[in-house]
Chains A and B, each alone.
Chain A
Amino acid sequence: MNQVKMVPYPSHSIIPERDEGHAVLQARELGIDFGGLTAVDDFTLTIGRTEIAGLIGPNGAGKTTVFNLLTNVYQPTRGSILIDGKNTVGKSTYQVNKLGVARTFQNIRLFANMSVLDNVKTGLHNGIQTSLLSSVLHTPGFKKAEKEANERVMELLDVFHMGYMANYPAGSLPYGAQRRLEIVRALATQPKILLLDEPAAGMNPSETAELMETIHQIRDTFQIAIMLIEHDMNLVMGICEGICVLNYGKIIAKGTPDEIKNNPLVIEAYLGKGKGGNTNAASE
Chain B
Amino acid sequence: MQSKKTVVSKMITYGMVILAFVIVFALDQSGLISRHMRSMLVPIGINIILAVSLNLTVGFLGELTLGHAGFMSVGAYAGCLFSIYTADLLPLAARFPLAMLLGGIVAAVFGIIIGVPVLRLKGDYLAIVTLAFGEIIRSVIINLNFTGGASGLKGTPQDSTYPITFVVILIMLFVIMNLVESKHGRAITAIRDNRIAAEACGINITYYKLLAFVVAAFFAGVAGVLFGHNYSILTAGTFDYNMSIEILVMVVLGGMGSIRGSIIAATVITILPEALRFLEDYRMLIYAVVLIIVMIVNASPRFTGMRDFLSPKTWIAILTKKNNGKEAA
Contact = CB atoms under 8 A, between A and B. Distances in A.
Interface of A: 71, 73, 92-94, 97-98, 102-103, 105, 109-115, 117-118, 121-123, 125-126, 128, 130, 132, 135-138, 142, 146, 149-150, 166-167, 185-186, 188-189
A114 B1 contact: no
B127 interface: no
Given A132-B184, A167-B1, A125 B202 contact: yes
A97 B182 contact: no
A93 B189 contact: no
B119 to A, nearest CB: 15
Contact of A138 (B178, B192, B196): B178
B187 interface: yes
Interface string B193-217: 1101111111111000001000000
Given A73-B196, A111-B193, A130 B201 contact: no
B190 interface: yes
Contacts of B201: 94, 97, 102, 122-123, 125, 185-186, 188-189
Contacts of A73: 196, 199
* A-B complex: 10 closest residue pairs judged by Cβ atoms: A135-B182, A111-B193, A97-B202, A109-B197, A93-B199, A126-B202, A122-B190, A109-B194, A128-B183, A138-B178
Contact of A135 (B179, B190, B199): B179
Interface in B258-317: none
A130 B185 CA distance: 12
Contacts of A137: 178
A189 B2 contact: no
Interface in B1-44: 1-3
A122 B186 contact: yes
Given A93-B199, A115-B2, A125 B178 contact: no
A136 B197 contact: no
Contact of B190 (A103, A105, A111, A149): A111
Contacts of A138: 178, 181-182
Contacts of A109: 194, 196-197, 200
A173 to B, nearest CB: 14
24 contacts: A93-B199, A94-B199, A97-B199, A102-B200, A102-B201, A103-B200, A110-B193, A111-B189, A111-B194, A111-B198, A113-B189, A113-B192, A118-B2, A118-B189, A125-B187, A128-B183, A130-B183, A135-B179, A135-B182, A135-B185, A142-B182, A167-B1, A189-B201, A189-B202
B140 interface: no
B167 interface: no
Given A146-B3, A189-B202, 19 more contacts: A92-B204, A93-B200, A94-B200, A102-B201, A103-B200, A105-B196, A105-B200, A110-B194, A111-B198, A112-B193, A113-B193, A114-B193, A117-B2, A118-B2, A122-B187, A122-B198, A123-B201, A135-B185, A138-B178
A94 B187 CA distance: 12
A126 to B, nearest CB: 5
B196 A121 contact: no
A112 B211 CA distance: 22
A94 B205 contact: yes
Interface residues of B, number: 29
B179 A110 contact: no
A216 B108 CA distance: 50
A215 to B, nearest CB: 19
A185 B2 CA distance: 18
B183 A125 contact: yes
Contact of B189 (A92, A114, A126, A130): A114
Nearest to B180: A135
A121 B183 contact: yes
Contacts of B189: 111, 113-114, 118
Contacts of B3: 146, 150
A122 B178 contact: no
B116 interface: no
A102 B200 CA distance: 7
B113 interface: no
Given A125-B186, A135-B178, A105 B197 contact: yes
A264 to B, nearest CB: 37
Give the most central of B178, B201, B203: most A CB within 10 Å: B201
Interface in B221-278: none
B90 interface: no
B132 to A, nearest CB: 28
B258 to A, nearest CB: 12
A167 B2 contact: yes
A128 B203 CA distance: 12
Contacts of A167: 1-2
B175 interface: yes
A73 B193 CA distance: 18
Contacts of B202: 94, 97-98, 123, 125-126, 189
B82 to A, nearest CB: 24
A114 B200 contact: no
A160 to B, nearest CB: 17
> Counting chain B CB atoms within 10 Å of each CB, which of A111, A122, A126 scores highest?
A122
